[in-house]
Amino acid sequence: MRRRLWLGLAWLLLARAPDAAGAPSAPQRTRSYPHLEGDVRWRRLFSSTHFFLRVDPGGRVQGTRWRHGQDSILEIRSVHVGVVVIKAVSSGFYVAMDRRGRLYGSRLYTVDCRFRERIEENGHNTYASQRWHRHGQPMFLALDRRGGPRPGGQTRRYHLSAHFLPVLVS
C-alpha cells in the first residue's frame, strides 16, 4: 500500500515538472508590441455618468451632454503599450492631472499628460495617471454626476464615474 502511495506521489511530481514529456524547454520569448505604439484614434469618451469628456477653449476639463459638440472630439495617442495621451482636437489642449489629482488642460505635452489605459470587464476604459498616486493608489480620470471633474484622490478603478466608453467619431 505504501509503495503505491509513493509511486502515485512520484508520478504526480513528474507530471508537473516542465520537462515531463521529455521535450526540451524552449527559452521564453519576451512579448513585443511595437505595432501598438504611436496608434492614433479619434474618439468621444462617454462617461458612465452620461457625459462626454471635453476640454473647452479655456483649458477646463469637464463633461457635456451634447453629443455633436466639436470640443468633445479627442485624439487618443498611444505613446507606449498601455499608456496614452488624450488631446482635444478643437482646442489643442492635452488632458493632464496635477499632483493633487485635479484635471486641467495643458498646451504643452508633459509627463502629467500620460495616462494608463485599461479595458475593464464591462467593456469600458479607465485612465489612471501614470505619474501621480495618492497613498499608493492610482488616481483616475473621472466625471461626477454633474459633469465636473472628480478629484483623482477620490477615485478608484471600480467607481463607475471613472469608466469611459470610447465612441467612434462619425
Is 24 within the bounds of a domain?
no
- Domain span holding position 88: 35-168
Is 10 within the bounds of a domain?
no
Per DSSP, the residues of 72-132 read G-EEEEEEETTEEEEEETTT-PEEEE-TTS-EEEESS--GGGEEEEEE-TTS-EEEEEEEE
pLDDT at 16: 58
pLDDT at 67: 86
Is 18 within the bounds of a domain?
no
Per-residue DSSP letter, 147: S
Is 101 within the bounds of a domain?
yes
Yes or no: say if 12 and 5 are a contact pair by the CB < 8 Å rule. Answer: no
Is 157 within the bounds of a domain?
yes
Domain with residue 132: its CATH number is: 2.80.10.50
**What is the pTM for the complete model shown?**
0.76
Q: How many domains does the chain have?
A: 1
C-alpha cell recorded at residue 43: 474618439
Q: What is the pLDDT along the chain (170 residues), one digit of tens a residue?
A: 555 656 665 655 666 555 545 555 556 666 556 655 678 889 999 999 999 999 999 999 999 999 888 889 999 999 998 999 999 999 999 999 999 999 999 999 988 899 999 999 999 999 999 998 888 889 999 999 999 999 888 889 888 899 999 999 97
Is 27 within the bounds of a domain?
no
Is 23 within the bounds of a domain?
no
